[in-house]
Structure 1
């Protein structure tokens, strides 16, 4: 009788049956957004000598490495490489919080090849919050200037920031993952200036802040297109750039976006930690930045199911009140950064409405969401708020189908013709699920049929993966 297959020995070490291993593999494939699944008995065939097809060889090595706490290569299992690699979203970004580390981190994420066959795995738990704590305690960066290369005057940075502002507005109007390619082209140019130009300390800090904001925007575009691990990589690099720039407001804003993503992925305690760290790490008094950070914390509290409903409601309301208090500050001592332009009372009402929807207070949610629509001029947010408002009418004790459909159809019209946002489609999908029991109503049936075409439409992905 021949030697046991390497996979058999490793599963014995873990105490896994072939069926249990198959379940872990299928769960891993699902978490990566892959459509493939295997039968519970398939691993037994592998242990009898059958060679798995891609992506199962690399995926098996990844799951075994994670469970055993040590690296397992595909070749360790006696299989040929399938030219795929599963690595952590922070791979290659474990670098110092000094200027040299930042330059390398920025270059690592901006120079990634479209042919890169690695699949990045989402950070969760302590690995997700660790970069936030490192940012919080890192010593200020020194020697930002560079003494060789062509001189970069300050007005060049002004022009770069103006272009960055236009890219932000394009995202506000239409969203979509395809904009990511354009942002990355702009970012690569800034990265080239950082690595090859000659500039003073002042210009260097400005350039790092520009790179940080472009990376922040890249992360949001990836997040909005459901490329969550890629978004985490951009945000970690962005955090490094913001730290080198000495821009605590930008760093805190990045953590706010990381918190928003964690909340959407049901990493709710991590969302609270990230949002709380952002507020702790921002010593300034910009009204808009304070409002942004308070509302991120409110969203995290509203979704946190590890605490009591009473505590969740109290913490959520307190953070919402702090945000509106900041926006009504009549004597701010710090000016608002350019990227905070979007935090208006309308947007604050929209986020407050979402929070109350999550805590089950549909009356308060509707009040805020109606207020948000009165001053909203961004198509994606318009679609999102109308979807949320429709949700309040369908989830209340006595559903109001007419009002729910009125707002749902407004949102659907935008998503059909103008707005490309996976995040908005996700909320729309939840709304259609809530409406499905009422499909006997012809207006509901008509809406569900229209929504189906939006939810099942093939959406183009950015070439840069």
Structure 2
């Protein structure tokens, strides 16, 4: 472990702190207790570079300086108790929501992701999902001391504008990402420093989860996977604080989708299985079962895939006396058909897969351009599986043009992944044109 990859250096860098900054904050923590600390930048370097272990009391001050839950401190397990060493995942705790949100914001605002030590392990994410599945959030209390009062009008304004920004057409949302980022930063500051009653606190945490999820998808679409993971984890912490199981399942479902996208199907399966233990609304269960079917199919688990697809179809048609969660309100027969088709495509049932993907494409409403682009890429893959290069090239070209128009690099990536499969058909109608456009 070098000084650049030491968990303390990682935590410092997340906070934008120099060694001098950290030393000053440690001294301040001691002073609040009427004590003195001799910590300076040279001592911090000894901890990070020379493997020196701080005293137990000093480790408490370090946690406070880094805004980590003091409950994490385990002097006998230095430096492993630092959350950054546990796969990059902030564990649940009474004060973990703001910690997770701030860490996610710092990571999301970076121009380049850290490669040295900002790797988030699938094992750690699955463990967090298990902790969510077996535990309940600490009851959210009012925060009525210190800070300035957070009024209803302020929260309503943030709620309304956040949803308006997210409801813009896909080709317009690409222009307002900085505004959504700013809304999340504002809500995080209000949770951390504002004064509010319990009802307002619940609204702020729900809004934080919504915004974290929105920003996460934006980062994910642009290939910024570490930032996206941190944001979904922060959303999970916010949902956990409100004890809303369906909202927590939303974040876990997205983390599983990302893991499957990155071909980590073991992690995706584990997350989804934990998520399904507490998910309540039928539409939410339908979506999670559908995602489970996709990742099971990628592992060639045919029977389990078909069971998950049947469950997804059953729950999508089920009625519920409760409001539909906003995060899965878009779930429709179109999504069920296309993702079922993609699962069957992975299992080798190409003809039926093609039929379902075509049906779903026809059912998709015009407003969902990004999803249409993804579906077109799936359609191109199914045509290739049937050795129909002309039709595949047409669908892939349409997906590529749409992705570039609306600013959807993830959709473009799907098309780029298919290009090697077009090489045997370079003389088929439409294929040379596709290859030329893709290379442009």
TM category, shorter: 0.7 to 0.9
Q: TM-score with structure 1 length normalisation?
A: 0.71
1: CA distance, partners of 2:150 / 2:276: 34
1: CA distance, partners of 2:340 / 2:113: 41
Give 3-state SS (helix, strand or coil) of 1:121's partner.
coil
The reply on whether 1:135 has 2:119 as its aligned counterpart is no
The reply on whether 1:301 has 2:301 as its aligned counterpart is no
Asked if structure 1 preserves the Cα contact closer than 8 Å seen for 2:216 and 2:227, the reply is yes
2: CA distance, partners of 1:324 / 1:395: 25
2:308 to 302, 309, 319: 319
Q: Which has the higher contact order (CA 8 A, sep 6+)?
A: 1
Residue 14 (structure 1) aligns with: none
1: CA distance, partners of 2:328 / 2:347: 27
After the TM superposition, which of the residue ranges 115-124 and 131-140 deviates more from structure 2?
115-124
Structure 1 residue 109, shift from structure 2 partner: 2.6
1: CA distance, partners of 2:233 / 2:275: 14
2:237 to 240, 246, 254: 240
The reply on whether 1:405 has 2:393 as its aligned counterpart is yes
2: CA distance, partners of 1:394 / 1:91: 39
Structure 1 residue 244, shift from structure 2 partner: 0.4
List aligned pairs for 1:348-367, cutoff 5 A.
348-367=336-355
2:376 to 360, 376, 386: 386
Alpha-carbon spacing, 1:94–1:175, altered in 2? closer, same or farther (3 Å): same
Asked if structure 2 preserves the Cα contact closer than 8 Å seen for 1:97 and 1:138, the reply is no
The reply on whether 1:292 has 2:325 as its aligned counterpart is no
1: CA distance, partners of 2:283 / 2:413: 28
Residue 97 (structure 2) aligns with: 102
Structure 1 residue 139, shift from structure 2 partner: 3.5
2: CA distance, partners of 1:205 / 1:116: 33
Residues 393-433 of structure 1 deviation map (CA, whole Å, 9 limit, x = unaligned) = 1122xx112222222222122123x2222321221012211
Asked if structure 2 preserves the Cα contact closer than 8 Å seen for 1:180 and 1:222, the reply is no
The reply on whether 1:440 has 2:427 as its aligned counterpart is yes
Q: TM-score with structure 2 length normalisation?
A: 0.74
2: CA distance, partners of 1:336 / 1:276: 21
The unaligned stretches of length 5 or more in structure 1 are: 1-5, 8-70, 77-86, 454-465
CA RMSD of aligned residues (A): 2.9
Give 3-state SS (helix, strand or coil) of 1:342's partner.
coil
2: CA distance, partners of 1:174 / 1:367: 32
After the TM superposition, which of the residue ranges 431-440 and 100-109 deviates more from structure 2?
100-109
Structure 1 residue 207, shift from structure 2 partner: 0.9
Structure 1 residue 157, shift from structure 2 partner: 3.2
Asked if structure 2 preserves the Cα contact closer than 8 Å seen for 1:365 and 1:392, the reply is yes
Aligned length: 361
Structure 1 residue 225, shift from structure 2 partner: 1.0
The unaligned stretches of length 5 or more in structure 2 are: 3-45, 52-82
Asked if structure 1 preserves the Cα contact closer than 8 Å seen for 2:383 and 2:389, the reply is yes
Give 3-state SS (helix, strand or coil) of 1:365's partner.
helix
The reply on whether 1:422 has 2:421 as its aligned counterpart is no
2: CA distance, partners of 1:351 / 1:256: 15
After the TM superposition, which of the residue ranges 158-167 and 222-231 deviates more from structure 2?
158-167
Structure 1 residue 445, shift from structure 2 partner: 1.0
